[in-house]
Chains A and B, each alone.
Chain A
Amino acid sequence: MLELQHPDIIGDMATRLENVITAYHDTPGAVIPVLRECQNIVGYLPVELIDYISVGLNLSKSEVLGVATFYSLFSLTPKGRHTIRACLGTACYVKGGKEVMNRIKQTYKVEEGGTTEDRRFSLEAVRCLGACGLAPVMVVDQDTHGKVSPDRIVEILEQYE
């Protein structure tokens, strides 16, 4: 097995990653669940980890990287401590989701898909979250905030350190 060394892979992470690979080693088509679980452990997927997974699952690196870059769930760059997912689905868009998004970008100096310099927030624009009754909707980590307005945004986000 490949030795896994990376500054963001610390503590028992390496052992847990190895366990994931072992568990799925013989399952056909396991790339997506493996990437998901590995990302849950490390927070994102550094290229060294992609190498590790491809060796572990006996796949080519391009195959694994191809899958990792195809699906929006996977990230090859580090994430902030909190992830803001602002919905830009149709209902939210109609109800002012774009204005909410712009206010977040301005206030925290962060771009869509980017992370603030202090790694406090990562900002993502997402497609419909299926809570259109509450449009515009924003999800911070696991918390859903409905009927947000540009003015309420900062108040809500300040609760997340």
Chain B
Amino acid sequence: MANPRLQLMLCTGTGCLASGSKEFQTALEEEIKKQGLEGEVKIIETGCNGFCAVGPVMLVQPEGIFYQKLTPKDAPLLVEEHFLKGRPVEKLLYVEPASKETIPTMNEIPFFSNQKFWVMRNKGAIDPESIDEYIARDGYFGMAKALNEMTAEEIIQEVKDSGLRGRGGAGFPTGLKWQFASKADSDIKYVLCNADEGDPGAFMDRSILEADPHAVIEGMIIAAKAINASKGYIYCRTEYPMAIQRLTLAIKNAREYGLLGEDILQSGFNFDIEIYQGAGAFVCGEETALMRSIEGKRGMPRPRPPFPANKGLWERPTVLNNVETLANISQIILNGASWFSSIGTESSKGTKVFALSGDVNNIGLVEVPMGITLKQMIFEIGGGIPKKRKFKAVQLGGPSGGCVPEQHLDTPVDYEAIARVGAIMGSGGVIVMDENTCMVDMARFFMDFIQDESCGKCPPCREGTKRLLEILNKICEGNGEPGDIEALEELSLRIKESALCGLGQTAPNPVLSTLRYFKDEYIAHVYEKRCPAKRCVALLKFKVDPEKCHKCGLCYQACPVGAISWEKKQPAVIDREKCIQCLSCYEACRFDAID
């Protein structure tokens, strides 16, 4: 087939698939066939595009026209108007919510134009199941350079000079980690990729694996050469079937091309990779627990030292890097350390991928240069808060992280700066919360998660998080007593000091950071038996305030059980007998009229 005139880059990432991109694809294929355009336009299934909020999305190349929210019935119009007659279909283009302006090309949409695509340079641009397309975009060139032109010391030096730090959360310098492992004396060493992305609200690694699996494999091979390892494992969550499927194919293709396995590129270097599926345990994202899990044991952390660089998997020197960290490597080798360190702050270089979610307009995956402020990320790229509500706080770093309130929104994306305001960079989950979020309930939610996922090995984490949860439950249920807030603080600090692993040491963070910035909400719950955000059911009256009621009937429409009676020009009344306390009316009311 001759080169197609148009390439339709259709997103088949998890988000778009669930929004119906497969159904759209079937309809589009039929329509293309019907109009006899088979040789001229070609559909390419890509990994996650990042703009999940408006999925299914499709990019038409080489024009760069970006279509959103596609449904099967849009197919005939698209084919006829755009692909035959060359007129982009206006009603399927992106409209900027603030200015109501239609923006036809992807690069001009603020969501994309404010980002910097390094790690995600191939997302939506190549077919993730085609190794040829990856190679066409300089894929495996970094590896070729590392294997044929560089010594292990040179590779490590380059990565050290780049300033790359671990993207899994802790931010340990990657080059240094490699150096420790390279100096460890052993005939067998391992390179592991941590794809056990367990933080709720984080889906960066999943999207990278689905959109560009070869980038991770290439990074692992370079790491292997640096420390002289011959075997690698990718530890991937079992909840990510598509990532596993695409990785499996990528590994197979790389082997067939001689880019993985014995004597890679005739350099005499041997390295092979195996995928190891997790079995659902959050703690396995912790490095020593992950290694235990590959050994077929319960995923429980062990004290360090010895560090994995000396004694890791099967007691051998091991390097464990996160997906995003590894996806950076080949570009650093290819373009040089100074290229990479040219953007970012003093201590944090390059870019960081974040998963924006929660109460924000442009939910999706974003990659930003280090150093931009949280405000820019949430309001310029993220498009601000929906439903004209006010921003309250943003949770960074998942259950191990903390919340950042409005007064600190000018904090730059930088490991140290974020830590100073009481959160952590973390793996990249960014959950935006609006004024209707109860911070005590939020802390309770994270504690529920942590105590459930605690492996049970050390008592501070196992028992301490349970007690924290009990106190938080008590407060949310309206039974808070004087002394509870002090007990939360005391217990949190003790757990932090004495827990065995990273999971336990960071477990109290959501409590500590909400106490730091939103203590008034705790006080309202405990002493005034009041939930200011109106989320804690036990503290609500489910009563309409006739003074505040605008008599609009929105609550009446929202009630799923018909417990609200309302007539035009009359304030609504809630029947407590029928009410199931689902909070739909609170959600619907725009005037804060329900108590």
A residues contacting B by CB (< 8 A) are 28-33, 35-36, 63, 66-67, 70-74, 89-91, 93-96, 99, 102, 126-135, 137, 142, 144-146, 150-151
* Contact indicator B281/A134 (Cβ below 8 Å): no
Cβ of B355 within 8 Å of any chain A Cβ, yes or no, is yes
Interface residues of B in 244-292 (CB under 8 A from A): 277-282
**Distance of B15 from chain A, by nearest CB (Å):** 5
* Contact indicator B238/A73 (Cβ below 8 Å): yes
Partner of A130, one of B14, B17, B560: B14
Can you show 20 pairs from A to B with CB atoms below 8 A apart? Answer: A29-B294, A29-B297, A32-B279, A32-B293, A73-B238, A90-B358, A90-B431, A91-B200, A91-B201, A94-B359, A94-B437, A99-B584, A128-B198, A130-B239, A131-B18, A132-B201, A132-B203, A132-B358, A144-B14, A144-B17
B50 and chain A: residue at smallest CB distance:
A133
Complexed CA–CA distance, A66 and B4 (Å): 56
Interface residues of B in 427-459 (CB under 8 A from A): 429, 431, 433, 437, 445-446, 449, 453, 455
Question: Quick one: given A94-B433, A128-B203, are A73 and B14 in contact (CB under 8 Å)?
Answer: no
Chain B residue contacts of A93, Cβ below 8 A = 200, 445
A67-B298, A90-B200 given; 5 more Cβ-contact pairs under 8 Å? A35-B279, A67-B297, A91-B363, A130-B239, A137-B18
* Contact indicator B200/A128 (Cβ below 8 Å): yes
* Contact indicator B19/A29 (Cβ below 8 Å): no
Cβ of B296 within 8 Å of any chain A Cβ, yes or no, is yes
Cβ of B212 within 8 Å of any chain A Cβ, yes or no, is no
* Contact indicator B431/A134 (Cβ below 8 Å): no
**Distance of A43 from chain B, by nearest CB (Å):** 16
Partner of B280, one of A30, A71, A99, A150: A71
Complexed CA–CA distance, A70 and B583 (Å): 36
Chain B residue contacts of A30, Cβ below 8 A = 296
Render B22-46 as a binary contact track against A, CB cut-off 8 A, 1 for contact.
0000000000000000000000000
A129 and chain B: residue at smallest CB distance:
B239
* Contact indicator A128/B201 (Cβ below 8 Å): yes
* Contact indicator B298/A128 (Cβ below 8 Å): no
Identify the 9 closest CB pairs spanning chains A and B, nearest first. A133-B52, A29-B296, A89-B200, A71-B279, A132-B357, A130-B203, A72-B280, A128-B200, A144-B18
Render B212-249 as a binary contact track against A, CB cut-off 8 A, 1 for contact.
00000000000000000000000000111100000000
Partner of B281, one of A31, A70, A102, A129: A70
Cβ of B88 within 8 Å of any chain A Cβ, yes or no, is no
Question: Quick one: given A67-B298, A72-B280, are A90 and B19 in contact (CB under 8 Å)?
Answer: no
Render B189-201 as a binary contact track against A, CB cut-off 8 A, 1 for contact.
0000000011111
Chain B, interface size category, equals: 35 or more
Considering residues B295, B296, B453, B587, which has the most beta carbons from chain A within 10 angstroms of its beta carbon? B296
Complexed CA–CA distance, A132 and B199 (Å): 12
Chain A residue contacts of B560, Cβ below 8 A = 150-151
Question: Quick one: given A32-B293, A133-B357, A144-B17, are A91 and B431 in contact (CB under 8 Å)?
Answer: yes
Chain B residue contacts of A70, Cβ below 8 A = 281, 298-299, 455
Question: Quick one: given A133-B52, A137-B18, are A89 and B201 in contact (CB under 8 Å)?
Answer: yes
Considering residues A33, A73, A93, A96, which has the most beta carbons from chain B within 10 angstroms of its beta carbon? A93
Partner of A146, one of B19, B429, B431, B433: B19
A64 and chain B: residue at smallest CB distance:
B296
* Contact indicator A28/B19 (Cβ below 8 Å): no
A133 and chain B: residue at smallest CB distance:
B52
Question: Quick one: given A74-B279, A146-B18, are A133 and B238 in contact (CB under 8 Å)?
Answer: no
**Distance of B407 from chain A, by nearest CB (Å):** 22
* Contact indicator B279/A73 (Cβ below 8 Å): yes
**Distance of B428 from chain A, by nearest CB (Å):** 12
Cβ of B341 within 8 Å of any chain A Cβ, yes or no, is no
Chain A residue contacts of B52, Cβ below 8 A = 131-134
Complexed CA–CA distance, A128 and B201 (Å): 6
A71 and chain B: residue at smallest CB distance:
B279
Partner of A133, one of B55, B197, B277, B299: B55
* Contact indicator A91/B449 (Cβ below 8 Å): no
Cβ of B480 within 8 Å of any chain A Cβ, yes or no, is no
* Contact indicator A29/B281 (Cβ below 8 Å): no
Chain B residue contacts of A131, Cβ below 8 A = 14-15, 18, 52, 203
* Contact indicator B197/A130 (Cβ below 8 Å): yes
Question: Quick one: given A90-B200, A128-B203, A135-B357, are A29 and B449 in contact (CB under 8 Å)?
Answer: no
Considering residues B17, B239, B355, which has the most beta carbons from chain A within 10 angstroms of its beta carbon? B239
Question: Quick one: given A90-B395, A127-B449, A128-B203, are A134 and B18 in contact (CB under 8 Å)?
Answer: yes
* Contact indicator A32/B17 (Cβ below 8 Å): no
* Contact indicator A134/B19 (Cβ below 8 Å): yes
Considering residues B199, B358, B398, B429, which has the most beta carbons from chain A within 10 angstroms of its beta carbon? B358
Interface residues of B in 557-595 (CB under 8 A from A): 560, 582-584, 587
Cβ of B119 within 8 Å of any chain A Cβ, yes or no, is no
Cβ of B206 within 8 Å of any chain A Cβ, yes or no, is yes
* Contact indicator B282/A127 (Cβ below 8 Å): yes
A142 and chain B: residue at smallest CB distance:
B241
Chain B residue contacts of A91, Cβ below 8 A = 200-201, 357-358, 363, 431
Question: Quick one: given A73-B280, A89-B200, A90-B201, are A132 and B296 in contact (CB under 8 Å)?
Answer: no
Complexed CA–CA distance, A132 and B240 (Å): 14
Complexed CA–CA distance, A132 and B382 (Å): 14
**Distance of A45 from chain B, by nearest CB (Å):** 12
Question: Quick one: given A72-B280, A134-B18, are A28 and B201 in contact (CB under 8 Å)?
Answer: no
Complexed CA–CA distance, A160 and B313 (Å): 43
* Contact indicator B281/A71 (Cβ below 8 Å): yes
**Distance of A136 from chain B, by nearest CB (Å):** 11
**Distance of A158 from chain B, by nearest CB (Å):** 17
Question: Quick one: given A90-B431, A133-B55, are A127 and B200 in contact (CB under 8 Å)?
Answer: yes
Question: Quick one: given A28-B296, A90-B200, are A126 and B363 in contact (CB under 8 Å)?
Answer: no
**Distance of B414 from chain A, by nearest CB (Å):** 23
Cβ of B364 within 8 Å of any chain A Cβ, yes or no, is yes
A59 and chain B: residue at smallest CB distance:
B296
Cβ of B146 within 8 Å of any chain A Cβ, yes or no, is no
Cβ of B499 within 8 Å of any chain A Cβ, yes or no, is no
Complexed CA–CA distance, A135 and B294 (Å): 32
Complexed CA–CA distance, A28 and B200 (Å): 32
* Contact indicator A132/B363 (Cβ below 8 Å): yes
* Contact indicator B277/A33 (Cβ below 8 Å): yes
Cβ of B53 within 8 Å of any chain A Cβ, yes or no, is yes
